[in-house]
A and B are shown apart, each in its own frame.
Chain A
Amino acid sequence: MSLEYRVAAFVVLSVAVMFADSRFDYLDRVRYSLGFLTAPVYWVADTPARISYWIDDVFVSHGDLIEENERLREELLFAQRELQLLAGLATENSRLRALQEASASVDGRVLTAEIINISSSPGSRRVLINRGATDGVLEGQALLDAHGLMGQVVEVLPFTSWVMLITDSRHGTPVQVNRNGERAIARGSRGDIPELELEYVPDTSDIEVGDLLVSSGLGQRFPKDYPVAEVISVVHDRGQPFARIRARPLAQMDRTRHVMLLALSADDSQRIGPSSAAPVWLDTNQQFSSTSIVDQIEEQIDELSAQPHEEVVNPAPESVGLDSPMPSEVADTVPEAPTGQE
């Protein structure tokens, strides 16, 4: 067979494979099996980092250890104090929830993981973690570091998984302003700086520089009330229909190695499947375009209005302990937010 025919055959084959991979999930099994072949490459590539961590662990002076131990003990004390406060708040919260007959959805199970690689293509912001299907990782699980939300698992391989960071330009994170409950969608910036942009926020919205953005839990991919980002600039341009708001993620995307995977609660894991009814704006297979996002927000509003009333106001008791105004104020602002986003 001549060279031309062979290359034509392989081009056709590639296009077929690409089409099948993007449209259907027949090839997930192939991808998964090939993951066994690529695992050693990652393992070797990560060796220098592992050795340097090992050296750090082994060759450390006694004095340094004592110092670190003391510091950690102090931190633990602080953390425990906060935990005591939280325990009180949690009981109060569950009591209030019980009053409203809303279900408790906060699930604290986590799995620690390490980032072992970052995506090599300049256009995307993804990281590889050292946990895979054998550790029980599922697509859609949220990744956190000690400071905030980092991203979500988009592809699970046998021993590793790809995580799309919230700063990827194809990723949208549903957030709300911690101060007043104003809701928005934070999308990864298209530029070189890893930042978030709040999309389609009306000029009149009350968002200021320094505001803390927490995950709103809408979309049901990310748990509620985890810190996401801090607003660093708000530009009101009269020529533009929306305010331009940029935010810096709180998670230390490019410095941290140790991260946490948040376990999905039992009913969530059913929801995450490819044929799930999870709201579409967090489906990372979809490109966000300006037309589709309006549809998506409308869908979101439809869904919200279809839900019973207590679902809409339940942010109120949760945010009692946080730096937010009185619950009554929050409850007042929240039902208005969807109309503001439209």
Chain B
Amino acid sequence: MNQRASGRWVIFLSFFVAYLLAIVPFPEWAMNYRPQWVAMVLIYWAMALPYRVGIGFAWTAGLMMDILEGSLLGLNALALAIIAYITLSLHQRLRMFSSLQQSGVVLALIGLHLMMTHWMKIATEQAVASSLLFLLGALSSAFIWPWMFVLLRQMRRSFGVR
């Protein structure tokens, strides 16, 4: 059993859990606070293993998200590809950051992700323009980031994903 194969298993599992969390029903009032799990997991892997989780991977992950959400094909794919691009170009700096600084970057990235999907949904008439409260999801994502980072790093180390 080589390490490459076992590593892939860990990455897929983390994405599977992220998809699950992304579609688990939330109460109506908490809808806006829903963290963007898939985007966060993607940011982590793109930062930790930039040579394995690249833009193509992000695009495919986004396509799956589109199917899960029932939204237009390519919408989440585009947003996640851009998020992956920014993360990849920043990954060396991101690794040096303290967890607070990382949270700040995650806040900006998830905010951008939410804005992009929102704009695209409005442009393709899948949603109507509403308040900007949906951006609260970026705040909750940034809040959860430090714990998620530690958890995923632990997973990556103990399973030897490289």
A interface residue numbers (CB < 8 A to B)? 3, 6-7, 10-11, 13-18, 20-22, 27, 30-31, 34-35, 37-38, 41-42, 44-45, 117-124, 126, 128, 155, 157, 162, 169-170, 190, 192, 254, 287
Contact = CB atoms under 8 A, between A and B. Distances in A.
A18 B124 contact: yes
Given A7-B81, A17-B77, 15 more contacts: A3-B85, A6-B85, A10-B56, A14-B62, A14-B75, A22-B124, A27-B73, A30-B73, A41-B68, A118-B25, A120-B69, A122-B134, A126-B70, A128-B70, A190-B128
A120 B68 CA distance: 10
B85 to A, nearest CB: 4
A121 B69 contact: yes
Nearest to A287: B125
A120 B75 CA distance: 15
B125 A119 contact: no
A254 to B, nearest CB: 7
A3 B73 contact: no
A327 B143 CA distance: 63
Nearest to A128: B70
Interface in B33-83: 34, 54-56, 59, 62-64, 67-75, 77-78, 81-82
Interface in B1-35: 16, 19-20, 22-26, 28, 31-32, 34
Given A21-B73, A30-B73, A10 B25 contact: no
A269 B125 CA distance: 26
Give the size range of B's interface with the partner: 35 or more
B74 A21 contact: yes
Contacts of B63: 34
A123 B128 contact: yes
A120 B63 CA distance: 16
Contacts of B150: none
A20 B133 CA distance: 31
Interface of B: 16, 19-20, 22-26, 28, 31-32, 34, 54-56, 59, 62-64, 67-75, 77-78, 81-82, 84-85, 88-89, 118, 120-121, 124-128, 130, 133-134
Contacts of B26: 120
Contact of B88 (A3, A35, A121, A169): A3
A185 B68 CA distance: 31
B74 A121 contact: no
Contact of A37 (B22, B67, B69, B128): B67
Contact of B55 (A10, A22, A27, A157): A10
A18 B72 contact: yes
A120 to B, nearest CB: 6
24 contacts: A3-B85, A7-B82, A7-B84, A7-B85, A10-B55, A10-B59, A14-B62, A14-B74, A20-B73, A21-B73, A27-B73, A35-B67, A41-B16, A42-B68, A44-B20, A120-B25, A120-B34, A121-B71, A121-B121, A122-B32, A123-B130, A126-B70, A169-B128, A170-B128
Given A120-B69, A123-B121, A18 B130 contact: no
Contacts of B62: 14
B67 A34 contact: yes
* Candidate in B25, B31, B134 with the most chain A CB atoms within 10 angstroms: B25
Nearest to B75: A18
A170 B77 CA distance: 24
A291 B107 CA distance: 40
Contacts of A13: 59, 74
Contacts of A169: 128
A22 B73 CA distance: 8
B68 A124 contact: no
A16 B28 CA distance: 34
A190 B133 CA distance: 15
